[in-house]
Structure 1
Amino acid sequence: MLGLNAAWDGLQQFLEMGGPVLVVILFATFVLWALILERLLYYGLAHRGNVQRAIREWDNRSDHKSWYAHAVRDKLISEVKLKTNQNVEFIKTMVALAPLLGLLGTVTGMVTVFDAMAISGSSDARAMSAGVSRATIPTMAGMVVALSGLFFVYRFESSAKKETAKLADKLDIRTS
């Protein structure tokens, strides 16, 4: 329990050091990772079932040569492709949004520094250093969030292409 309290206190200190934009970045991080976990669960639990359902539906057809059969085949492939690509664009948006939120934190932090300088009437480097530190923490946090999500964006996009192509090949084999 002591470790949990220390972690909570550390998180609160970090959020205070980075300012209010850091809370928004934290929320965006939770959304991003919830979407990433959803995609991982999809590939781990549901994807094979969707592919097998499409193959079964194709195999149950007596006609594989007509124009209508090819339209059904394309529909089955499109349905699986749609399910494999679900939420990937939203993940990409969250990855792109994270550094922008970090930049917003930097700008708001620097405005705070300049306001403090204007009020105090001095350009004391020590007084400014805390504000500059507060301004750069959101940038770092936004970049870390974006970098952590980039790997998964690439993985999900390549998996979707590969799995869709594999299904198309399986359904092609069954046409002959």
Structure 2
Amino acid sequence: MMLYLMDVWATVRGFMAAGGNILWLVALVLFLMWALMLERYWYVNWVAPKVHKQIIASWNAREDRHSWYAHRIREAWVSQATQEIRARMLIINTLVAICPMIGLLGTVTGMVSVFDVMAVQGTSNARLMAAGISLATMPTMAGMVAALSGVFFSTRLDAKMKIRMEKLKDRLPQH
């Protein structure tokens, strides 16, 4: 098992070396994005149902559920629950949108490396130029893969949040 983990780590290090320093930035953004998404999944699936039960119990315990004031209180509770459940979604969506841009930054730095090799060595050294091309293409690919995974799961998370909020609104009748 330990040998397998060492092989995996060596493969990751080789990939990161081939893609340059920008890949570490992509990895950092990807880690942060996934940490925030997992926290939101945990909140939506385990914390929000408890909070919503408390809101429903508070609503059902009220004697006055028909007046204008009662409806404003209901709106305030729903609004507060919406803010709590949607917390950090703007950051997640921003990180998803930034991933391809970081990949393109890697493309630019890789191409600068290629032009630097061409200026110093000329166009006859294909191996050195290939290293720069690798520096240019690997971060772009990594940024796109990171963004695609983020788009898919953040969209699913957003849909789950909307369903959870609609269920809360349905369980708070407005007689």
- How far, CA to CA, are the matches of 1:10 and 1:152 in structure 2? 26
Query: Deviation of residue 109 (structure 1)?
Result: 0.5
RMSD: 1.3
- Deviation string, structure 1 residues 96-117 (Cα, Å, up to 9, x no partner): 0100000000100100110011
Secondary structure at 1:171 match in 2:
coil
TM-score, structure 2 as length reference: 0.94
Q: Which amino acid in structure 2 is aligned with residue 7 of structure 1?
A: V
- Which deviations, in whole Å up to 9, do the C-alpha atoms of 1:40-99 show, x marking residues without a partner? 111221011011011011111110111110111001111211122111111111110100
Matches within 5 A, 1:106-125: 106-125=107-126
Aligned counterpart, 1:27:
28
Which runs of at least 4 in structure 1 moved beyond 4 Å after TM superposition? none
1:109-133 C-alpha deviation (Å, 9 max, x unpaired)? 1001100110112354443222112
Percentage of matched positions with identical amino acids: 44
Cα distance in 1 for partners of 2:148, 2:19 equals 19
Structure 2 unaligned residues grouped into runs of 5+: none
Output the CA distance in 2 between the equivalents of 1:59 and 1:106.
58
Structure 1: 5+ residue stretches without partners: none
Tell me which amino acid in the other structure corresponds to 1:33. W
Q: How does 1:75-154 map to 2 (within 5 A)?
A: 75-154=76-155
Distance 1:113 1:15 in 2: 18
Q: What is the CA–CA distance in structure 1 between the aligned matches of 2:147 and 2:17, rounded to whole Å?
A: 21
